[in-house]
Amino acid sequence: MSADFNDLSRLDGKLAVVTGGGSGIGEATARVFAAAGAKVVVAGRRIEPIKRVADAIGGYAIACDVADQAQVRSMFAEALAITGRVDILLNNAGGPGPIAPVAEVDMADWINCLNINLVGAMYCLQEAARIMSAQRSGSIINMSSLMGIEGYPMRSAYVASKFALIGITETMARELGSVGVRVNALMPGAVSGENMDRILKRRSEAEGRPVEEIERENYTDVAALKRWVAPEEVGRAALYYASDLSSAITGDKMKVDCGRF
């Protein structure tokens, strides 16, 4: 007799690491994972927000700047010591990067975005791959974006980092499949929250247009459901990849975008 769907969605006894866990999608996913029974390590650069989230869910807060390889190694070592395993990685830490056309973008800002969104993600992936290969199980979820499969004006650094994560996801799925480790990617569309509010403000300043006009034309009116994605909705999609509901799925990418096709 097959397992009950509710059982398959549970993460009881599993240790999950969530980077960028102090707000937005990271916070929402940490809460979803904890509600499903996981022990959750909430990682992020600033201790105050990650401690707030960790305290709320009975998890563990570990300060970590993913762009610093030594900090990433230390964070994973500390996480591994909790249960002797790392079962799930939500590779979520990142930033929006510079908002400017390619001809005018500040290259220092461009490179900094790649160092966080891509190089930082790779530091986390390398540690997770080593740990999960040794234990011969695990689920890695890379946080890409709808901009990981289609270009977007003014966002070249972010687009480049998110396209790269899709390729890395497919590469790692092939590398780690033989040891039972699954690697998938989520591609959220426009997700409501403070990060999106900042992006809208910066776009408004760069384009000389009202925030409300940019919001309608580029984010809500173009979605089939005519609304923003909520962070919790991305968290529930992450739970699907983290749990045995998706036990035969690897190298996959899933849009969570309210129908922006």
- Taking only the tens place, the pLDDT of each residue in 10-31 is 999 999 999 999 999 999 999 9
- Answer whether residue 66 shows pLDDT above 70: yes
Supply 131's token pair: 């740990």
CB proximity list for 44: less than 8 A, separation 6 or greater:
19, 20, 21, 22, 26, 50, 63, 64, 93
CB proximity list for 54: less than 8 A, separation 6 or greater:
21, 30, 40, 41, 42, 60, 61
Dist CA 98 CA 96 (whole Å): 7
Q: Going by CATH, does the domain composed of 5-190+230-256 fall within 3.40.50.720?
A: yes
Q: Quote the pLDDT of residue 3.
A: 58
Q: Which residues are catalytic?
A: 144, 158, 162
Residues 146-158: what's their mean pLDDT? Answer: 95
Rounded to 5 degrees, φ, ψ at 42 are: -100, 110
The domains of the chain are located at 5-190+230-256, 192-228
Dist CA 70 CA 74 (whole Å): 6
Residue 149 CB neighbours (<10 A): 15
pTM, two decimals, is 0.92
